[in-house]
């Protein structure tokens, strides 16, 4: 069952502007790639990712994957991560 905090966050993520969702998405993606994502992070990041894909790509996962492939190294570098670190 969702805790009240998680449920509140999931409901409020819909209100975030696109640029904030995008930043949070890349923060989540980097956290995942580092292998540092905990249980609470997963729920929050799933909500962020779903809302980001919906707002930026009108839920088109193919366009989202192309975007991710084109931007992942730059975004990871901004956050101090390189795939060689894994």
pTM: 0.84
Angle at which helices 39-57 and 61-78 cross, to 10°? 120
Q: What is the pLDDT of residues 44-59, one digit of tens each?
A: 899 999 999 999 999 9
Q: What phi, psi does 57 have (nearest 5°)?
A: -120, 10
Q: Is the model's pLDDT at 62 over the cut of 90?
A: yes
User: pLDDT band at 10, cuts 50/70/90?
Assistant: low
Q: Is the model's pLDDT at 6 over the cut of 60?
A: no
The total number of structural domains in the chain stands at 1
In a domain, 85, yes or no: no
Are the CB atoms for 71 and 37 separated by under 8 Å?
Answer: no
Range of the domain at 26: 4-79
Q: What is the pLDDT of residues 15-26, one digit of tens each?
A: 889 999 999 999
In a domain, 69, yes or no: yes
Phi-psi map region of 4: left, alpha, beta (phi>0 left; psi -120 to 50 alpha): alpha
Q: What phi, psi does 4 have (nearest 5°)?
A: -60, -35
């Amino acid at each position: 069952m969702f805790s009240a905090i998680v449920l509140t966050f999931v409901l409020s993520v819909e209100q975030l502007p696109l640029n904030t969702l995008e930043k949070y998405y890349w923060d989540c993606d980097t956290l995942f790639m580092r292998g540092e994502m905990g249980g609470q992070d997963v729920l929050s990041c799933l909500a962020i990712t779903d809302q980001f894909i919906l707002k930026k790509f009108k839920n088109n996962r193919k366009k989202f994957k192309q975007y991710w492939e084109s931007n992942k190294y730059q975004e990871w570098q901004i956050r101090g991560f390189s795939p060689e670190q894994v």
